[in-house]
Amino acid sequence: MVVQTLINRYEPIDPDYGWGWVQTSTDSWNSFLKNWTIEADEWIAAYIPHNEKEVMYRLIDDPARNQSSRTPYLLHGDCGFHNCLVMNDNWKELSIPLPVVGYPIYDLVYAFCSTPDRLDRETFEPAAELLKIGNE
């Protein structure tokens, strides 16, 4: 639902605006991810095993995952379930944006991980297949 009604409607943005949080942008998407991971680590260090943190940093630094040639978009930035307005079991809107310049998959992963009821491929892959932007 979030993919079709929100994420697929995002607009491309000039990468000269920087990457990451609009208020405190960085020079690359990888820099943003690394900085955000370091910051998040301060809050959740006790809950994530060291070897799993190592995997996160390796994924961020992996040259095969460099997406610098792809088109950035202006994202909502906080697609967590806690910001969803639902009425009568229907999704209505997403509130409280934290604008991010980046790739649409970021908001999809954020939304997916904010509701850990079903963190599995069978749930995520159909939603990812609906993503029509951010693959260019």
Residue 28, SS3? coil
* % of the chain exceeding 70 in pLDDT: 98
Mean pLDDT (whole number) for 64-80: 86
Is the separation of the CB atoms in 111 and 79 below 8 Å? Answer: yes
What is the enclosing helix (H) or strand (E) of 90?
strand 90-94
Residue 64 is encoded by which pair of tokens?
Answer: 């095969």
Is the separation of the CB atoms in 99 and 22 below 8 Å? Answer: yes
Tell whether the model's pLDDT for residue 92 goes beyond 70: yes
CA distance 15 to 38: 23
Tell whether the model's pLDDT for residue 44 goes beyond 80: yes
Mean pLDDT (whole number) for 10-24: 93
Give phi and psi for 99, each to the nearest 5: -50, 130
CA distance 100 to 24: 10
pLDDT per residue over 94-127, tens digit each?
Answer: 888 999 999 999 999 988 888 777 778 888 899 8
Q: Are strands 100-102 and 73-75 parallel, antiparallel or unpaired?
A: antiparallel
Reported pTM: 0.83
User: Amino acid identity of 88?
Assistant: N
CA distance 112 to 34: 20
